[in-house]
Amino acid sequence: MNSKIKKILKKKNKSKIICLTAYSKNIAEEVDKYTDITLVGDSLGSVLYNYKTTRKVTLINMIDHSKSVRLGVKKSLMVVDMPYKTYSSNNSALKNAKKIIKETKCDAVKLEGGKNIINQIKILVKNKIPVMGHLGLLPQTAKGKFKSKGRTAKEKKQLINDALLLQSSGVFAIVLECVKTFTAKQITQTLKIPTIGIGSSVYCDGQVLVTDDLIGLNNTNIKFVKKFVNIKKNINLGLKKFTIEVKSKKYPSKKHSY
């Protein structure tokens, strides 16, 4: 087992796991200083390409961005999302996961789903490809308005069963997206592997956010997003200074000219 994955597993019930997204080397370098897990999420579809759904994200998109991220990740565990329809069957899952691992040199892949993709997960694990699970809200297959999961007794039972199935199939951690607090808490307490929450309460073993959201680069009003800094202010300040200096002929000075 990857030594970085062992470290993640040891954090269960001991210290919170930090997970953030990165889609390029420059952001990855900064994120890597703080994270246990750096995720190249298919959220890049909406963040970078303005897609209304992650279903438009391709394998090539994920691989190209992951290659860039790999250059910036030194210490954290690098996980790459397998995009929509790239793991529909056992054969496609194995073929595409191998391609991602080989071309990006990432540490693990992430798949969305429970019982419906158990066979694919087992095949990957059998072939020594580390897998992170993802339950609750599943952006790749969700239809209509996004809603929280685990609200009813039936939903709660299904999520717990799926989580246990994923665990027994060999995933090393599970992302819980938009899962009701009481359900996320029970899943976390039931499992031996860590849960990484996003909109799923403080009771999860760790938390993940889209970096562009937390630094205020995106204009989003999603309930679980907290802007920890407004990077746009600094960007605008720099752009304004550049514009003023160019117009006043202060830039480029001799120092910045050949």
Supply the residues annotated as catalytic.
177
> Would you give the DSSP letter of residue 113?
B
HSE-CB of 235 using CA atoms within 13 angstroms: 8
**Three-state SS annotation for 41-110:** CCCHHHHHHCCCCHHHCCHHHHHHHHHHHHHHCCCCEEEEECCCCCCCCHHHHHHHHHHHHHHHCCCEEE
What does the DSSP assignment read for 141-178?
Answer: T--SS---B--SHHHHHHHHHHHHHHHHHT-SEEEEES
Closest CA to 66 of 104, 28, 118, 122: 104
CA dist., res. 68 & res. 104, Å (int)? 8
For residues 112 and 141, is the Cβ–Cβ distance under 8 A? yes
